[in-house]
Structure 1
Amino acid sequence: MTARVLVVDDIPANVKLLEAKLSAEYFGVVTATNGRDAIALCERGEVDIVLLDVMMPGMNGFDVCRRLKGAPATAHIPVIIVTTLDQPRDRLQGLDAGADDFLTKPLDDTALFARVRSLARLKAMTDELRSRAVASVRLGIADPLATAAAETGLNGRILLVEDRPNVAERLQSALSAFHAVEVESDAQQAVIRSAEGEFDAVVVSLDLQGQDGLRLCSQLRSLERTRNISVLLMGETEDRDRILRGLEIGAHDFLLRPIDRNELLARVRTQVRRKRFTERLRDSVQSSMEMAVMDQLTGLHNRRFMDNRLAAMFDESALRARSLSLLVLDIDHFKSVNDSWGHDVGDEVLREFADRVRACTRGIDLVARMGGEEVVVVLPDTGRDAAYCVAERIRERVENAPFAVQNNTRDIKVTVSVGVSSRRAGDASSADMMKRADDALYRAKASGRNRVIVASAA
């Protein structure tokens, strides 16, 4: 896939060379000659991937990488450090700074393009989550990008797939200093364990005896329960083509033998951090979706959801000539609870009231808080008499046991009035049902409260 690649280097010839190579592979290219300009471009959202030189005046590549990875607005952008530095300590310093990879000049074009495409796919997967997560801030959720960017990548759950006991023991010993590590020697069992466990990363050897590590990688990517797990491949230098193929089918990173302990730890930490970053965004999106349709105090659906869902349930009931009933419940004298005990106690009563209503309804029923102390229950495939029985069951459950409040130190007696209506053949919309249930509730209140009134059938 294509992407916008930012090339950062203070030597014009290096910039021109990389720009020509990437453009020939149909990548969009943006350039910068110093760290500050590079950071500004990233902050404006103009790039998908950064190819970053280390040796630059003013701010070196390691410092630029730390700035990008430490800022919520840019932490998601993949960074590949490209440099002439080739010592293990240099590579480790780049990975510790948060770089997604470290490539040494002169570059192998095939490896570079495979890495850029792999990281472009990963970024594309998170971009939509990011935009939705940012929108969730308007709903009152804490800034998800700041939370995600603060992830350390430590204390992960790692599955090591290696069938040579001595190698597995050495790698497990290294990783166990910072993570919980399990070892599996069989590729198929590794798939099963990955699906059943909550692993952050799977480290797969390409040298499994009689087994195909790439097929394992492919299976992990294809299964819904494992496709979000980070996958790292381990192979020999001569496995280069297989490793590049692994990146194409979904592996996130790789290590070449002999494996340096510090590089292993750095790359695993990077993958754990990336996986958790995505999970935090996904959780934020899920929370925002729930907040859009749920009442946060009671856990019931809110009025917006109820209005839309009730209309659909009414139309389906009319189309199929099936029964549909509706209850409107209102806690009696609820204002006096707030006035006498305070709004905190009132909130406790509302939460307990919601729990008791839920306990008297089915999974297919719609239970929603309309506002204040009023709750609506929609009962599909339920006629007038059966709806009355449900309403009575709720009324009795509320009346028969006092509501324990203030850490179970006080009890409050609570009752509820209920209006009931059912769909009529002549109803134009669900609003007609709601109007009759509201009228029935008003009569229940006017005639003494703590009772159920059913709207007339005709």
Structure 2
Amino acid sequence: MTARVLVVDDIPANRKLLDARLSAEYFEVATASDGFEALDVCARAQCDIVLLDVMMPGMDGFEVCRRLKTDPKTHHIPVIIVTALDQPSDRIRGLEAGADDFLTKPVVDVALFARVRSLARLKMLGDELRLRAQTTREIGLTDALMEAVNDPGLGGRVLLVDDRENSWRRISAALASSQTVDVETSPQEALFRAAEGEYDVVVVSLGLEGFDALRLCAQLRSLERTRMTPVVLVASPDDNARVLRGLEVGVNDYVIRPLDPAELTARIRTQVRRQRYTAQLRSNLQASMELAITDGLTGLHNRRYMEMHLQSLLDQAAARQRPLSTLVVDIDFFKSVNDTHGHDAGDDVLREFSRRLKASVRGIDLACRLGGEEFVVIMPETDGAVAQIVAERIRSKVAEAPFVTSGGRAAIDVTVSVGVASFLGADDASTLLKRADLALYRAKASGRNRVVADAA
């Protein structure tokens, strides 16, 4: 895979060297000579990943990284700090500023390319979520996302997979002040535990006895419930080849023994932050999808959703030669409810009717609010005779008890009229709905509070 890489360094020779090395590996490369230029390029969404020097005039790399990671528009862009600084305190400072990795010059090409590919792949996986979630920001769902951007990465749930007691005790102790750590010594059980535990991070030791830790990492990536869970490897200094292979199979990060507790803590906090940010994007996306297909007042599917799915249900019924029926339900004299009791009471009636409607149909039936006081129920695997029984059940369920409105201050008698039409094998969606609607018209014309089936 390729990616657009921004190289930020105030020394032209360093920029040219990284440009040549990355271009040879078919990455697209852009360059910036200072932090201000880098922030501008990132704000215009012109890169997938940033390789950032630290020692620059005007604004050092740590500050550039901090600004990128605290801005919701650039928070998602991975940052690798590439610098001659080699002290543990420098590395930790970079990670705490939000960097996704910290590489010390001179950087080995293979390690650099593997890390760039890994982080670019992770970013691209999240880009679709992020772009779709922009809709939710436009309708006001911003607070939770901002909280995720500013999350300190504390209090996460970490699953540690390590079968050496002296090792897992050290790691647990290092993380205890910032995270909740569960230890699993059996790699065979770790996959099930990770899938069931809703962990923020899974930490896997590469030195598992008699078991390939990378196979576990690959399995975590293959399961739907753990596909997006960050995975961090704990490796020995001679495990470079396996670490690079781990990055290829989807590992998010790694730490090398002997472990620096502060660095380990910083890296895990980074992964916890990323997990929460991604989870919030998914939550916002789900919310936007629900808003797009759900009626906000009643909680039923809306007309748009019905129109999207009715024809496909008819196609399935035709292909399998199976029955399908449709009900069109209308609340009788609903305008008088609004006129007499007010629109708030009318809304109470619509909500309570929807509750009774859902209680009268099966889980596979599609109940939708068509608009106003009109509703549609699509019933797969249901012939006309059974559909009439269900329609009568809905009618009687509505009529059996008054609707309590206005916080209990009023009780309104409500009835409904129902039109029933069954799929004849050649109907399209509009034809079927029109036949059910004509049956509803006859029900209302003949006195309301009754069920009428289409005569076709």
Common fold: TM-score over 0.5: yes
Structure 2 stretches lacking a partner, 5+ long? none
Instruction: Name the SS of the counterpart of 1:227 in structure 2.
Output: coil
Structure 1 residue aligned with 2:47:
47
Q: Which moved more, 1:148-157 or 1:182-191?
A: 148-157
Q: Which moved more, 1:55-64 or 1:380-389?
A: 380-389
The answer to whether 1:63 aligns with 2:50 is no
Deviation for aligned residue 1:423: 3.7
Preserved contact between residue 144 and residue 281 of structure 1 (Cα < 8 Å): no
Deviation for aligned residue 1:144: 7.7
1:202-225: CA deviation from partner (whole Å, max 9, x where unpaired): 111222333332222222222332
Deviation for aligned residue 1:44: 0.9
- TM-score normalised by length of structure 1: 0.92
Instruction: Name the SS of the counterpart of 1:237 in structure 2.
Output: coil
Structure 1 residue aligned with 2:84:
84
The answer to whether 1:95 aligns with 2:66 is no
Instruction: Name the SS of the counterpart of 2:367 in structure 1.
Output: strand
Deviation for aligned residue 1:322: 4.0
Q: Aligned equivalents of 1:360 and 1:82: distance in 2? A: 63
Q: Cα gap change, 1:441/1:215 in structure 2, threshold over 3 Å: closer, same or farther?
A: closer
Structure 1 stretches lacking a partner, 5+ long? none
Structure 2 residue aligned with 1:359:
359
Question: What RMSD in Å do the two structures reach over aligned CA positions?
Answer: 2.3
Q: Aligned equivalents of 1:95 and 1:195: distance in 2? A: 28
Structure 2 residue aligned with 1:35:
35
The answer to whether 1:178 aligns with 2:182 is no
Structure 2 residue aligned with 1:436:
435
Q: Aligned equivalents of 1:363 and 1:289: distance in 2? A: 20
Residue 296 of structure 1 aligns with an amino acid whose one-letter code is: G
Deviation for aligned residue 1:105: 1.6
Deviation for aligned residue 1:148: 4.2
Q: Cα gap change, 1:150/1:402 in structure 2, threshold over 3 Å: closer, same or farther?
A: farther
Residue 101 of structure 1 aligns with an amino acid whose one-letter code is: D
Structure 2 residue aligned with 1:306:
306
Q: Aligned equivalents of 1:370 and 1:28: distance in 2? A: 50
Matching of residues 162-173 of structure 1 within 5 Å: 162-173=162-173
Structure 2 residue aligned with 1:449:
448
Structure 2 residue aligned with 1:112:
112
The answer to whether 1:247 aligns with 2:251 is no
Q: Aligned equivalents of 2:244 and 2:384: distance in 1? A: 67
Structure 1 residue aligned with 2:292:
292
Deviation for aligned residue 1:102: 0.8
Deviation for aligned residue 1:173: 2.5
Deviation for aligned residue 1:57: 1.2
The answer to whether 1:219 aligns with 2:219 is yes
Q: Cα gap change, 1:291/1:205 in structure 2, threshold over 3 Å: closer, same or farther?
A: same
Structure 2 residue aligned with 1:330:
330
Structure 1 residue aligned with 2:267:
267
- TM-score normalised by length of structure 2: 0.93
Deviation for aligned residue 1:146: 4.0
Q: Aligned equivalents of 1:404 and 1:312: distance in 2? A: 38
Q: Aligned equivalents of 1:378 and 1:247: distance in 2? A: 48
Preserved contact between residue 6 and residue 31 of structure 1 (Cα < 8 Å): yes
Q: Aligned equivalents of 2:138 and 2:310: distance in 1? A: 27
Q: Which moved more, 1:34-43 or 1:335-344?
A: 335-344
Q: Aligned equivalents of 2:308 and 2:31: distance in 1? A: 50
Q: Aligned equivalents of 2:246 and 2:7: distance in 1? A: 25
Q: Cα gap change, 1:51/1:321 in structure 2, threshold over 3 Å: closer, same or farther?
A: closer
Q: Which moved more, 1:211-220 or 1:26-35?
A: 211-220
Residue 17 of structure 2 aligns with an amino acid whose one-letter code is: L
Q: Aligned equivalents of 2:166 and 2:406: distance in 1? A: 59
Residue 216 of structure 1 aligns with an amino acid whose one-letter code is: L
Q: Cα gap change, 1:40/1:423 in structure 2, threshold over 3 Å: closer, same or farther?
A: same
Residue 134 of structure 2 aligns with an amino acid whose one-letter code is: V
Q: How many residues align?
A: 456
| Identity of matched residues, % | 60
Q: Aligned equivalents of 1:150 and 1:349: distance in 2? A: 42
Q: Which moved more, 1:77-86 or 1:342-351?
A: 342-351
Residue 440 of structure 1 aligns with an amino acid whose one-letter code is: A
